[in-house]
Amino acid sequence: MKKVIVFIIILININSCQTQSFDPSSLIGTKWQRVERFSDPTIKWEFSKEDISETVNRKNINKTVSHTRKYYFSPTAPIKFDWNKVGKCDSGKYLVYYNDISKRMSYLKIESVSNDTLKFWHEANPDAIGDVSRYVLYKRIK
């Protein structure tokens, strides 16, 4: 009986290790550039405690647009944006952010994090025309 209990505890620990993510506070003050197959547009993210500042530079029309998005981390895929979690660096496997322009919540599943790379999985939104499921990769620039 004792061996069964120990085995169950080991399984729980293994499962919780697989769902653990990184320390979100390590992103504060960092700047990232999205790696794309095509060079246009150039998309950069900079993290503060509550916001992701996004800069989109479209070279082909010589236009740069910047805006900020509130964000937080969630252990599960969210159904709606939880404004109470913004600015609280909770751990989680999902980066959840709110787009003030489209008035919509979006999220990315965190696939891997290193000192110089962020890799996310974007699940296509069935309501968005042309949206496809894909990996999204960012390289650290600051």
- pLDDT tens sequence across 43-73: 999 999 999 999 999 888 889 999 999 999 9
- β 104-113/117-122 pair status: antiparallel
Half-sphere exposure at residue 84, Cβ-oriented, CA atoms within 13 angstroms: 1
Mean pLDDT of 11-37: 68
pLDDT attached to residue 61: 87
Residue 84: pLDDT over 70: yes
The alpha carbon dihedral of 39, 62, 50, 27 has a sign of positive
pLDDT band at 22 (very low <50, low <70, confident <90, very high): low
Question: How many residues are there in the chain?
Answer: 142
How do residues 88-139 score in pLDDT, each as one tens digit?
Answer: 867 889 999 999 888 889 999 999 999 999 999 998 877 778 888 899 999 9
Q: What is the DSSP letter of 124?
A: P
**Prediction pTM value:** 0.79
Residue 18, SS3 per DSSP: helix
Which two tokens mark 19? 């769902």
